[in-house]
Structure 1
Amino acid sequence: MTVFVLDNARNQTDANGAQTDASLVDIVEGYRQIVQAAYVGFPIMCVEVDDVNAWSHIEGFVGRLQSGPNRLEKVRLIFSDTGSWIAWNGSPGIIFSTPLSEHFNGFDWIDTDAAATTEVYKIASDRARINAGGTIGSLGTAPVVGAEMLIEAGDTALTLTHNAAAILCPGEKDLPLAPGDRARVRYLGGSVSEVLEVLPGSRMHSISIPVASILPSPNGGCESLTNDSAASTVATLEFLLFSASTANHAQAQLTLPKSYTGGDILVEALLASNGSGNVKVDVRAEAVGAGESPSGWGDAATTTVAVGATAGAQKSTGRLTVTPAGTPAGGEELFVQVKRDAADGTDTAADKMRLYAIIVTIPVSKESDA
């Protein structure tokens, strides 16, 4: 819950930085609609009080919101005080400068450079991405005790230096943060902050490749794209058909995200058959970069999938760990091959196999590749 507490007894600064005698309720209402559209899950309301400096009134107001059977677990309180906006998460929090529109940076990451002392609490957000790397020995001074920040190491590794007079790190040791790693910190007062938790930066990004983007291999390939000729009243299933007697395969291509961290890639194939039994599926991959040529697939990840007798009933190989051949890196092309090894003794399904889609899951270090 985000609550705007507006002082109706003082001139205010509008969204353009101009002074106005009018209540800010109308101004905030305009932003409320924008923010709620962009940040689903952040309900917003507006309240006017006579004096936002009356901390007892504010604390009592938030206390009522956080008590009772319908209490809110977390309240984000924004109030105007002599030209500044202050965010409050259960205790007084981060100061935002005017104009009013700058408040909405509180939902976004703000980039800043590293320094021996980085005043992270003074930026107009509760999320700081530090790009220059290096070593930080102090996070500066917050306006109030209890203010929290989320710090992320940007494109370069960052180290928070443990110091009982500045930064309290876990285990009383310096805290290295690899690109994309995050640390949640809280201000204790007296220019001292503590690291509450460390969030590893590696994330998994899934890319779905529909069957229309998967091609039969030129040699030993499966049959061409077809469909189940369903009536217009239901969805039409498109698929590639794989022989029930000989090994045949198909391949797909995608570009690895720029923030790909290296290492194994997970591949899942969605498939079906028209009869019961097992199908044996092999998945391989190869990465090809600028100036390189394909040289051969990596080792196969193999599984056997029990298919049902119901025609077209979707099954999954589950996520198979695939090690691509080559030297995969962000921005390179990744080729993925899906093979039905019908000649293998473990493949017992007497009917052709359908391939509906491939889902490739890749470890990345950032939320965005933009």
Structure 2
Amino acid sequence: MYRELLKPLLFRLDAEDAHHLTIHALALASGIPAWPALARGFTAPSDPRLKQTLWGQPFASPVGLAAGLDKNGVATPAFAALGFGFLEVGTVTPLAQAGNDRPRLFRLPSDTALINRMGFNNAGASALHAQLKAAPHHAPVWVNIGKNKVTPNEDAVQDYLKCVRALQDVADAFVVNVSSPNTPNLRALQAADELSALVRAVVKEVEAQRVKTLKRPPVLVKLAPDLHPADFEASVGAVLDAGASGLIISNTTLARDGLSHPSAKEAGGLSGKPLTGRSTELVRAAYQITQGRVPIVGVGGIFSPQDAYDKIRAGANLVEVYSALIYEGPSLVRRLNMGLSELLAQGGFKNVQEAVGTAS
């Protein structure tokens, strides 16, 4: 129904208008009493091959929702009802901000891709806290944190710490976002020295807040796909040395190789199928650098069970999707879960963990 009816209608709208309409509908669905829990009873995979426990948290599926789709956490129950194993909301900043000027979101159908230059538009940490506090968590909810646009890089650490203090009691994990191309100078924080100092401070703050919240969510770091190999290796090493609990590989790219759509010229981060191979190779590189010491989340161009399976075998414990949901619709989650179960069985793996890194 999505491909034949809803998608053609949504694709007639401006991309951001369609996005807001969809999120609003899912937010309304999230408020229907008992529906999300009931629906998840049917959609959450039961195959034990897909189950994992990471950082002491159970994951019914390795397939998660990437950050950016539900920036303000208004539809987490509805997204959980689709069968996701976990959900990442945000990016959130301490203070609400409008983001960059519109238009700032573009579809590239001939390339099965998106370009966005949203600029961390969000309602702020307090609003996100209220949403997550009121909503049931049917799956782990991760919070992607960043700095406000007006905050200079030399003061950026304080913005990340403010997000931790405001949200630790409702976050099942924190994702430190230093890799969006749409906030001026943000990617400079990926340099090894700056990144190490930032991550150490966040990890220390999470530990300090543990007394108040009775929670110690893991801290993951999301890196860009555009780093030079030597810089990528240095950043991964800095993340490990600073005590982070995991990596997300990767964010959107500034590259435009091989694109055919006229909107390819638009500024912003590219996501979707053009990123499939590049992100998988970066997952493999990160796994080889870390030697499996921390879990890796693979994201970028996952449209099929094979895409997800390739990232797992390259070294990812978990995977995330965003662009594919826009093109394939909500049935994508079930298709990925079912297909992964079949591929793991065909490969002779008893569970996801056994498959991680077997092609690295």
Normalised by the length of structure 1, the TM-score is: 0.22
Structure with the higher strand share, 1 or 2 = 1
Structure with the higher helix share, 1 or 2 = 2
- Structure label with greater radius of gyration: 1
Higher-RCO chain (CA-CA 8 Å, sequence separation at least 6): 2
